[in-house]
Amino acid sequence: MNSESRISEILRSESPSLEAGELTAYVRSFVEQRDTFLHIQQTHGSPLYVFDASALRERARRFTETFQAVFTDFRSYYAVKSNNHPAVAQSLVASGFGLDVSSGLELDLALKCGCADILFSGPGKTDAELRQAVNHAGVVTLLVDSFSELERLEGIAREHRDCIRAGVRLTTEETGLWRKFGIPLGSLRQLLEHAQMCPHVDLCGLQFHTSWNRDPSAQVAFIGRIGKRLKQLPPMLRSALKFLDIGGGFWPSRGEWLQPAATQAGRLRQVLSLDIRSSLEHYKLPAQPIEIFAKEIAAAMATHIFPLVSCQLRTEPGRWLSDDAMHLLLTVADKKAEDLVITDGGTNTIGWERFESDYAPVINLSRPSEVEHACLVFGSLCTPHDVWGYGYFGDGIEPGDVLLIPGQGAYTYSLRQKFIKPIARVVPGLETDGSVP
């Protein structure tokens, strides 16, 4: 197919639409809580992150019970980078999770939370971070990212006359940007043999990570690749492996909601300087429920891994747990036209221009309605990319109105930045018994 035919095909293609009934039901579920959110805004002002501890605990319960139903030996670690607010980590530790950290800063947070089971992952660990891990070897398992990191870790652990548990990260793509992480699967035997000459490093597990998993196909495929490699290892090397960590990247079953500009056709229209479709058209890339992930991953482990290695399954969910744990409250500061308002909070609150591509409903709690109206909803930063949305649900919009953007718990708070305006504070929301903690 030539380039012109391909362009024509893309422009004619239709991305899956977000069904109006699903969106309306989602908006309604928050409008039903409007009195609570309005009370929070009246008490604390805005912009605000509202922390929903009960939603987070329910996510934790469902994830744990789902995997425990199909695995007899299972352990889960919350990926702190998805939302590094201490209350999120503390709540998940109390729910029985370990913590997955990717820096010395996150390790400090995990230790302050009283976590007794910490995974330390990530590339490019400094000597100071390796020493920090060794100093807390009783609670830390370090995921080695390279041969040189293994050598440095052995040297530091030898200096401290201590031994630290470790795993090795395997890269899932030997070409492209993702080769940044871990070692190629073909180098596994060499690294395991080298680890036998490192008496201060107990290398006892494997880890990999695939991202943006709307279904388990990528995880299942790589489990199969690991199984083929394990068959080639001597039994002595296999017997040292006590866990297989399949990482995180589980996408919430609500799916990925997109603005027109984020679809394949929309991106092409931008490149070609063509008009983008109505901003009130929303799209959805569906995701499978976590029960499907657990079932198919369990089948892959039973087929490819457990006949060769008796090991614990580990996971590192982040977004799946924290996505519903925070919501944003804003107040309309200025109305410049019927279709343009400015709010009191800028997108420095979330750290990036998320809503030029992602879609989340903007809900006017002061004038509730299940009808969405076209309107540019901006923040108050001195940049035109400070966009919250291209419409709002409500019966009109005026200065002083309180707006809610729900489901902003993942990769927003952790990315916040001090740029022009203050960073939004975090306040608690409702508990399940209806009380405000």
- Give the domains, in start order, of the chain with CATH numbers: 3-50+325-428 (2.40.37.10), 54-253+288-321 (3.20.20.10)
pLDDT at residue 69, rounded to an integer: 98
What does the DSSP assignment read for 205-269? EEE----SBSSSHHHHHHHHHHHHHHHTS-HHHHHT--EEE----BPPTT-EEE-GGGSHHHHHH
| pLDDT tens, position by position, 178-218 | 899 999 999 999 999 999 999 999 999 999 999 999 999 99
The length of the chain in residues reads 437
Q: For residue 364, list its beta bridge partners.
A: 403
Distance CA 292, CA 253 (A): 10
Of 244, 293, 117, 102, nearest to 180 by C-alpha is 102
Distance CA 157, CA 201 (A): 7
User: Model's pTM, two decimal places?
Assistant: 0.93
pLDDT at residue 436, rounded to an integer: 32
Q: Are 152 and 130 in contact (CB under 8 A)?
A: yes
Instruction: Please indicate whether residue 13 or residue 323 has the higher confidence score (pLDDT).
Output: 323
What rounded mean pLDDT belongs to the chain? 92
Of 13, 31, 12, 33, nearest to 23 by C-alpha is 31
Q: Are 276 and 259 in contact (CB under 8 A)?
A: no
- What is the three-class DSSP state of 77? strand
pLDDT at residue 266, rounded to an integer: 62
Distance CA 309, CA 219 (A): 18
Q: Are 378 and 340 in contact (CB under 8 A)?
A: yes
Tell me the mean pLDDT in the region 69-91.
Answer: 97
Helices then strands, each counted (H, E), the chain: 14, 18
- Listed in sequence order, the residues at least 6 apart from 35 whose beta carbon sits closer than 8 Å to its beta carbon are none
Q: For residue 343, list its beta bridge partners.
A: 332
pLDDT at residue 254, rounded to an integer: 94
- Listed in sequence order, the residues at least 6 apart from 332 whose beta carbon sits closer than 8 Å to its beta carbon are 341, 342, 343, 344, 397, 398, 399, 400, 401, 403
What CA dihedral angle connects 420, 423, 358 and 90, to 10 degrees? 160
Tell me the mean pLDDT in the region 351-360.
Answer: 93
| pLDDT tens, position by position, 225-257 | 999 999 999 999 999 999 999 999 999 999 999
